[in-house]
Amino acid sequence: MTPAVVKPSSWLTTGIRVEKVNNLNLFKFTDELGLRMQELLDKKKADSLTPEEAAQLEAIGELDVIFSYINAIIASQA
């Protein structure tokens, strides 16, 4: 069976916010998505992730990489 695929874009309206930090508008996770990521990381450490949760964690991690890159560009242009 193929594991579930979760698209990072599925959180565009519910998991992402823009926060002003030192006069820069940076992309951040909402508290809910941040808590979900931590919950999934804890389950991964305990080796109890389901395939669906593993796919979700991978998608959230992909968003985290994208945000880090975009926020670094924003900060370097300030």
* The Cα angle at residue 24 between residues 61 and 57, in degrees rounded to 5: 10
Token pair 């669906």 in the structure block, residue: 52
Q: Is the model's pLDDT at 1 over the cut of 60?
A: no
Q: Is the model's pLDDT at 2 over the cut of 70?
A: no
Distance between CA 27 and CA 2 in Å, rounded? 32
Average pLDDT over residues 2-8: 76
One-letter amino acid at 52 equals: E
Strands, DSSP E only, in the chain? Answer: 16-21, 24-29
Q: Is the model's pLDDT at 78 over the cut of 60?
A: yes
- Give the residue with greater pLDDT, 5 vs 42: 42
User: What is the CA 25 to chain-centroid distance, rounded?
Assistant: 17
Q: What pLDDT score was predicted for residue 8?
A: 86
